[in-house]
Amino acid sequence: MPIYGTRPEAIKMAPIIKALQESDDIECEVTVTGQHREMLDQVNELFDIVPDHDLNIIRPRQTLNGVMTRTIEGLDALFEQVQPDAVVVQGDTTTSTAGAIAAFYRGIPVVHVEAGLRSFDLFSPFPEEANRKMTTQVASLHLAPTTTSRDNLLREAVNPEDIVVTGNTVIDALYEVVEKAVPFSDPQLQELADSGRRLVLVTTHRRENQGEAMRGVGRALARLSEQYPDVDFVLPAHRNPVVREAILPEIEGRTNVIVTEPLAYGEFTHLLSVSQVVLTDSGGVQEEAPGLGKPVLVMRENTERPEAVSAGTVKLIGTDEERVVTEVSTLLNDAEAYAVMANAVNPYGDGRAAARTVAAVRALLGRGERLPDFAD
């Protein structure tokens, strides 16, 4: 039973669900919590996934404890009915940790996809660092995307036999979708992509950046849009009203700042592929953009994804308004600085993570052998 609830989990779970559905001796009951709604449904539609169970737990401005309790309660009833042999959870959202705990309490083995990421700061990202550590405690099979994440687990004394290095399934999803260069449904975006003008792609949603830090990012964007009238800044706005209330008033009325609804994954990856610079606090975008050779400025103080930082494609810049303006300006002005960061690297996967994941799940259930680890 794959269990997921938010946009990034849906994207990263989709290749696994496809591969599980191709196994003729494994029954796959897709379960969504509905922690996200529109942003989740958008991904399931794209990948043609129709969930078997939907807890529909979303509430406007929901709290972490609300998400946790509604998920555990809903899943507990479902486990009673379905009795899965294993559950698969992904990453570090509250859906994934609640799913892991609910299964563990029922004695159901937990498979943790994207295991072992650590920022080593319990409060940043919040609550994700704590979430993934909690899931590690109750998981039976730990699927680490990279050797760095495997080593983090080994340092925490996880049994090496319970760890497989798979690569990240986000690269499987990206490879499947980005090549299609899906046309934009919004004519303004299509025009922009065809124009050859430089484009800075911006996303932000992290809880610890909400409020003043996000307003500062909005002010930085407003200043940049004035300094660079020949550049377009595109912000697909997260659905969270708290995010919108912070950032949108700061950029209102700027003609070269284009705010859109969350883009379907095909359109988003297309936009990523035609961008010059990416400015983000997203986890998934940090993994995808390096593969496309796009410099990524990460608006966070730390990251649990150090691989692309080491490779030089990702730079941590925090959220200070001045710093955001300076760092984006450098990449727009300085061709040499740009070239240093714009090298395509793929430390997060080779597009075969789902195959390794499903082989490991099958082995856990006593069907077949694991595949060799992903060598990054």
DSSP 144-175: ESSHHHHHHHHHTT--GGGEEE---HHHHHHH
Closest Cα partner for 74 from 103, 51, 45?
Answer: 103
Residue from 32, 39, 72, 115 in contact with ligand UD1 (CB under 6 A):
39
Active site residue 238: yes
Residue from 99, 216, 284, 295 in contact with ligand UDP (CB under 6 A):
284
Cα 101 to Cα 105: distance, rounded to the nearest angstrom: 6
Active site residue 92: yes
65 binds ligand UD1 (CB under 6 A): no
Scanning the structure block, which residue is given the tokens 């995808």?
288
Q: Which is nearer to ligand UDP, 7 or 223 (CB)?
A: 7
Active site residue 254: no
Stretch that binds ligand UDP, among 27-35, 187-195, 265-273, 331-339 (CB under 6 A): 265-273
Q: Give 179's contacts (C-beta < 8 A, 6+ positions apart).
A: none
Query: Could you say which of ligand UDP, ligand UD1, none residue 224 binds, taking C-beta under 5 to 8 angstroms by partner kind?
Result: none
Closest Cα partner for 358 from 107, 166, 172, 144?
Answer: 166
Cα 262 to Cα 236: distance, rounded to the nearest angstrom: 5
Residue from 6, 136, 169, 303 in contact with ligand UD1 (CB under 6 A):
6
265 binds ligand UDP (CB under 6 A): yes
Cα 370 to Cα 376: distance, rounded to the nearest angstrom: 18
Q: Which is nearer to ligand UDP, 78 or 278 (CB)?
A: 278
Query: Could you say which of ligand UD1, ligand UDP, none residue 290 binds, taking C-beta under 5 to 8 angstroms by partner kind?
Result: none
34 binds ligand UDP (CB under 6 A): no
Active site residue 128: yes
Burial pattern 214-249, b for ≥16 Cβ within 10 A else e, equals: bbbbbbbbbbbbeebeebbbbbbbbebeebeebbee
Cα 279 to Cα 225: distance, rounded to the nearest angstrom: 14
Cα 283 to Cα 279: distance, rounded to the nearest angstrom: 12
Active site residue 207: yes
Rounded (10°) angle between helices 212-227 and 321-333? 30
Q: Which of residues 251-280 bind ligand UD1 (CB under 6 A)?
A: none
Active site residue 27: no
Query: Could you say which of ligand UDP, ligand UD1, none residue 61 binds, taking C-beta under 5 to 8 angstroms by partner kind?
Result: ligand UD1
Cα 174 to Cα 322: distance, rounded to the nearest angstrom: 33
Q: Which of residues 201-260 bind ligand UDP (CB under 6 A)?
A: 203, 205, 236
* Contacts with ligand UD1, residue ranges (CB under 6 A): 6-8, 35-40, 59-62, 64, 67, 93-94, 127-128, 205, 207, 239-241
* Contacts with ligand UDP, residue ranges (CB under 6 A): 7-8, 11, 170, 203, 205, 236, 262-263, 265, 268-269, 282-285, 288
Q: Which residues are catalytic?
A: 92, 114, 128, 205, 207, 238
